[in-house]
């Protein structure tokens, strides 16, 4: 049964898609103040009327708030081009949230042509003022290579500034940079430090990564109990990889009392979210009857789900069932197809499984006509994961 623990190393472009809220202060002009009062009372049309008047007088904060109304379609018909125009007016006057929101529009191409370099220009202005959203987003653009050159050191610099201000996504991504040694000297200890800060703020990805560090004893004293604790924290938030990993901890009795039924519970939650390793493990549980009653047809159902998503272990298991007629009608063409796909899918460190898949494919071929082999090969060639 596959029990590999993985790291969630992706970055999430969160801040650029999150609206900066309406500014929580009263601007000097009376019209602007009345607009803010109207907004708080849910009178968005009134807010639009007052803020537009103040914005036309040149009040930067009213311009930024007016842009939010146009962007979100509150009190006025949504108009992204008009939103961008007013964000730009406010951004030019130095309003940092307007600079961040204008950058977001350039990144997404909403209301303005997509232009990452222009987005970076506005983000730098806000980032230099200490805006954590801007610092995070600028770090993302550098790390993702969205600017003229990928620059991990610049990504690390901006992530570090945002992380120091408590930005949870920046803390997580800075931890990943330290873990990989990208833009900074590799340091498991620093990775743990930043993962922990983000994990304590409730970020499930960071909790999952912190669990891995405890499990592997990287940058911290090895502790199965701590690994299980943080996996649970992430799993209870619906993190599918953590659910899968927590299930494995229960299967092996690492950091928790061994409990096959509890393992199946967490695999099922992850499997329902499409996590293929969990789907495979759930299939194995039903096939072997641990944690659940043995039920081969249910095992095949889960093997098939994982196989259709490209899991080679599930493809191999499904092929075995098809060749034997166990849980499904015997079908050598489908069995050959799945053995072939499994053989192609096994990676480095899985040479034994790859060889087993090839040998099983060739054994099945002895029971087939040349036409059937050709059809199986055709199916394997055109197959695509769902």
How is 340-383 classified by DSSP, letter by letter?
Answer: HHHHHH--TT-HHHHHHHHHHHHHHHTTS-HHHHHHHHHHHHH-
Q: Identify the pLDDT of residue 27.
A: 47
Q: Identify the pLDDT of residue 377.
A: 98
Q: How far apart are CA 63 and CA 83, in angstroms?
A: 9
How is 6-52 classified by DSSP, letter by letter?
Answer: ---------GGGSPPPPPSS--SSHHHHHHHHHHHTT-HHHHHHHHH
Per-residue pLDDT of the chain (386 residues; tens, 9 = 90+): 443 333 333 333 323 333 333 443 344 457 778 888 899 999 999 999 999 988 988 999 999 999 999 999 999 999 999 999 999 999 999 999 999 999 999 999 999 999 999 999 999 999 999 999 999 998 888 888 888 666 788 889 889 999 999 999 999 999 999 999 988 999 999 999 999 999 999 999 999 999 999 999 999 999 999 999 999 999 999 999 999 999 999 999 999 999 999 999 999 999 999 999 999 999 999 999 999 999 999 999 999 999 999 999 999 999 999 999 999 999 999 999 999 999 999 998 999 999 999 999 999 999 999 999 999 999 999 999 99
The token duo for 235 is 């799993």
Domains and CATH numbers, the chain: 13-114 (1.25.40.10), 294-302+309-386 (no CATH)
Instruction: Specify the 3-state DSSP secondary structure of 74.
Output: coil
Q: Identify the pLDDT of residue 148.
A: 64
User: 177 with 183: CB under 8 angstroms?
Assistant: yes
Classify residue 115 by its DSSP letter. Answer: -
Q: How far apart are CA 79 and CA 77, in angstroms?
A: 6
The residue among 244, 249, 245 whose CA lies nearest residue 260 is 249
pTM for this model (two decimals): 0.72
Q: Identify the pLDDT of residue 101.
A: 94
User: 266 with 277: CB under 8 angstroms?
Assistant: no
Q: Identify the pLDDT of residue 91.
A: 94
């Amino acid at each position: 049964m596959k029990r590999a623990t993985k790291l969630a190393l992706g970055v999430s472009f969160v801040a650029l898609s999150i609206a900066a809220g309406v500014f929580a202060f009263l601007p000097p002009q009376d019209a602007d103040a009345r607009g803010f009062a109207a907004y708080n009372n849910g009178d968005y049309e009134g807010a639009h009327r007052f803020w537009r008047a103040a914005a036309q007088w040149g009040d930067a904060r009213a311009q930024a708030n007016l842009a939010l109304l146009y962007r979100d379609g509150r009190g006025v018909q949504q108009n992204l081009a008009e939103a961008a125009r007013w964000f730009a007016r406010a951004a030019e006057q130095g309003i940092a949230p307007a600079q961040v929101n204008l950058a977001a529009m350039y990144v997404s191409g909403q209301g303005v042509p997509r232009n990452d370099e222009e987005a970076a220009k506005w983000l730098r202005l806000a980032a230099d003022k200490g805006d954590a959203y801007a610092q995070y987003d600028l770090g993302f653009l550098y790390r993702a290579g969205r600017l003229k050159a990928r620059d991990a050191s610049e990504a690390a610099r901006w992530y570090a500034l945002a992380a120091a201000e408590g930005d949870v996504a920046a803390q997580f991504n800075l931890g990943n940079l330290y873990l990989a040694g990208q833009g900074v000297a590799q340091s498991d200890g620093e990775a743990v430090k930043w993962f922990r800060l983000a994990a304590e703020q409730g970020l499930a990805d960071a909790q999952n990564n912190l669990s891995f560090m405890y499990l592997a004893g990287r940058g911290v004293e090895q502790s199965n109990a701590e690994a299980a604790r943080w996996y649970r924290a992430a799993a209870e938030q619906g993190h599918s990889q953590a659910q899968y990993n927590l299930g494995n901890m229960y299967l092996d009795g690492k950091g928790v009392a061994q409990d096959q039924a509890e393992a199946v519970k967490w695999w099922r939650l992850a499997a329902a979210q499409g996590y293929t390793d969990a789907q495979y493990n759930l299939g194995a549980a039903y096939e072997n009857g641990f944690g659940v009653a043995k039920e081969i047809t249910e095992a095949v159902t889960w093997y098939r789900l994982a196989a259709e998503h490209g899991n080679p272990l599930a493809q191999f298991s499904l092929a075995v069932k098809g060749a034997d007629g166990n849980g499904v009608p015997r079908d050598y063409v489908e069995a050959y197809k799945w053995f072939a796909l499994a053989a192609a899918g096994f990676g480095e460190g899985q040479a034994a499984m790859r060889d087993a898949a090839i040998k099983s494919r060739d054994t099945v071929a002895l029971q087939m006509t040349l036409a059937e082999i050709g059809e199986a090969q055709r199916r394997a060639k055109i197959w695509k994961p769902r």
